[in-house]
Structure 1
């Protein structure tokens, strides 16, 4: 039996099921419903046209400029490493030649003294003459070798593959400490091990008494070498030198990634140091004293002091700079005030030391241990608070983003790669993931 159209006041017979409202409608109302649906297509056309115009006006250069700058920075870093390596090998060649020349100079002086002795004594033998003649002939031969070729140089071509630069679609995200996982790797620290640590995204440098050790991303120990140079105040990585920099009480040491050698840097003045950090061109070092100073060392061709910032530019008379960290043309300073026993974190310009922002921290400084901080993705900062056993996450504009309790008490930390956090406690080193 035929049904009437359910639309109010419509007496026509229903002729079909409407997909829109699931009602059996007459032909007229079916047509009206269809017209309404078609009308909803018009705004889509407008949106598509607007998106098309937006695509046509996009400036690719503006979008990719930051990425190009990062690639440019990578290229500049590679050039610096090659230039540093080149200069080091040139110095090696010069040293070899100078050693040979000095050796021959000594031989020449010895022969000259023998001749002078014979002349002064007005007495000699045929054996003396033959011996001197032989010595001079041998010296001539050796000097000819210097003027021609005294060593060979073997080189290998520098091979660069695509894995050196990996372009990923994922963008840098801000970390949230609330997603900090339970430690999935724990390493016991021997007694009297120094707490500072440094990484270069691939390897981590730690002191594990009595050795200084290199670990990989999974905290597997790769290499170790005895450390007999006293207290370690701080460490950092220099991409320009391709070396770790280890700060002693009043000495600076360079350690190659292969840990073949530990080289002490020769400096004119050796104040009492406390913290260090590197840019591409400078090593920043703060002094272990009230009204702390900051000294900038040129990295190449040799580590040499070229700039110094002092009180009152650095801090107040009753202030003490606990830590200094370089990041993207800026320095973060952890500063303790002796009068108030308070702590603050400041972001400064690395070139002028002008203050960009300053954040007082709710921390009462009781123990005589340096407070440290480290960088996180998104230009944020992480402070291990050993006084109350917690972490403070600071935003890039100087606000507290997150505070979490942490046990055992954290003293040092570093973001190892994009989603790993290494934490140094009193007796252990813990590895976490951050989502």
Structure 2
């Protein structure tokens, strides 16, 4: 085949290898001289590359609109409203305290003056009746009367007893930004000493304890009283509890209420508590021993023989579903929820040489469907099936499992990996809970051998001290 030849005035040939066509254009993006065919191919390739980008931009635009309509802003508006209500409640409580203090101050001052006047009046009346007053007595009485007169004149001139300063709110008390969930470093091996402690003076207090969804409040039952603590373990409120012994507490974020289980006679059942009004309501009757709350459901375990059946109630309408989660030779000892996951400590009875043995496992199920198992790992507890154990949620950090008999805390990740274990040095741990954004609460029993007594203590450990 003859090779094409071009006159001296010919524009450059196509830069594509093995192409002998004459170039028709210079592509400025890749600095190549291209013929008509390869120019079209080049344009088509670029169009193929830009089309998916255009589709992605449209998808991003749709996502932005979805974010505007998402539940995030609605939840945050509700969060701000709740913050406003809490702030109003704090101001109102301080206002009521100031009113009580003002009345007490005025009444105490005036009552003391009135007592002084009455004693002085009785003394003068006695002098008049007995006719034995002396000149010195008259001088002393006159000085007392003048002193009281000056004090009353001064009080009459006072225009106000209250000095007020404007309530200053820091500008950064509310921060608005696209913030990812905070991943607080959590290492049991570096758990700090207790930042603060509360003594309950009660032996082995297995009463319920739980924190609210945002970990801003801790609810605790002991000695027929409910205590509501803030994130620094300061008592916010206290109320008398008249509905029986509280065995379990969890928090229903959708209802913004604590859920409490009681186990005494006719009072036994499930109660809800609104902490803003400290109002109690019985919501379910029955004999239950365990409870946990996910984002959308309340889970209850009954005291009954045979296979373990979990009762699932929708928090929106309390529609009931039942799930068989254990075999006949198995029992659930503890349970807790972490977002849409349900954690269970399960003991299984297996035949031994001369008796039965028990093996424990920690399993996590999805609450989004039919409680399908996500993963399961074996566990060991110091006193076997007789051990007291508990589970608490660490949010995105996973789970914290308590073994009271061995004083052991075990940190387990959300995917079932044991991260660390710790022998707790500050007593026998009974229950744990997150509190605030940087703290964990451990309810434990201290054994005072030298005093021949035991007492329950609530320890607040700060996580910010962890490197």
Question: Equivalent of 2:224, from 177, 200, 210?
Answer: 210
2:376 matched to which residue of 1?
A: 358
Distance 1:405 1:265, change over 3 A: same
1:418 matched to which residue of 2?
A: 437
Task: Write the distance in 2 (CA, Å) between the matches of 1:73 and 1:394.
Answer: 28
2:296 matched to which residue of 1?
A: 281
Matches within 5 A, 1:267-306: 267=285, 270=286, 272-289=287-304, 291-301=307-317, 304-306=318-320
Does residue 1:406 correspond to 2:406, yes or no?
Answer: no
Distance 1:199 1:189, change over 3 A: same
Shift of residue 356, structure 1, vs aligned partner: 1.2
Shift of residue 74, structure 1, vs aligned partner: 6.1
When Rg is computed on C-alpha atoms for both structures, the one with the higher figure is: 2
| 1:40-93 residue CA offsets vs partner (Å, 9 max, x unmatched) | xxxxxxxxxxxxxxxx9998959x99x9599725625877999xxxxxxxxxxx
Question: Equivalent of 2:404, from 381, 386, 404?
Answer: 386
Aligned-residue CA RMSD in angstroms? 3.4
TM-score (norm 1): 0.60
Identify unmatched segments of 5+ residues in structure 1. Answer: 1-55, 83-160
1:20 matched to which residue of 2?
A: none
Task: Write the distance in 1 (CA, Å) between the matches of 2:295 and 2:180.
Answer: 27
Tell me how many residue pairs correspond in the alignment: 292
Moved over 6 A (4+): 56-60, 77-82
Does residue 1:233 correspond to 2:247, yes or no?
Answer: yes
1:196 matched to which residue of 2?
A: 208
Q: Is the 8 A contact 1:255 1:261 kept in 2?
A: yes
Matches within 5 A, 1:174-185: 174-185=185-196
Task: Write the distance in 1 (CA, Å) between the matches of 2:181 and 2:255.
Answer: 30
Task: Write the distance in 1 (CA, Å) between the matches of 2:378 and 2:69.
Answer: 33
Distance 1:370 1:387, change over 3 A: closer
Task: Write the distance in 1 (CA, Å) between the matches of 2:193 and 2:309.
Answer: 39
1:320 matched to which residue of 2?
A: 331
1:75 matched to which residue of 2?
A: 74
Distance 1:240 1:367, change over 3 A: same
Distance 1:165 1:424, change over 3 A: farther
Does residue 1:335 correspond to 2:384, yes or no?
Answer: no
Q: Is the 8 A contact 1:285 1:295 kept in 2?
A: yes
Task: Write the distance in 2 (CA, Å) between the matches of 1:316 and 1:299.
Answer: 27
TM-score (norm 2): 0.56
Task: Write the distance in 1 (CA, Å) between the matches of 2:386 and 2:68.
Answer: 42
Question: Equivalent of 2:362, from 341, 345, 348?
Answer: 345
Q: Is the 8 A contact 1:207 1:213 kept in 2?
A: yes
Shift of residue 210, structure 1, vs aligned partner: 2.6
SS in 2 for 1:178: helix
Task: Write the distance in 1 (CA, Å) between the matches of 2:258 and 2:68.
Answer: 25
Distance 1:171 1:240, change over 3 A: closer
Distance 1:226 1:352, change over 3 A: same
Distance 1:61 1:423, change over 3 A: farther
Distance 1:171 1:305, change over 3 A: closer
Q: Is the 8 A contact 1:343 1:364 kept in 2?
A: no
Shift of residue 279, structure 1, vs aligned partner: 2.6
Distance 1:206 1:283, change over 3 A: same
Matches within 5 A, 1:8-407: 61=60, 72-73=71-72, 75=74, 163=174, 167-168=178-179, 171-191=182-202, 193-200=205-212, 201-249=215-263, 250-267=268-285, 270=286, 272-289=287-304, 291-301=307-317, 304-310=318-324, 314-339=325-350, 340-350=357-367, 351-366=369-384, 368=386, 370-407=388-425
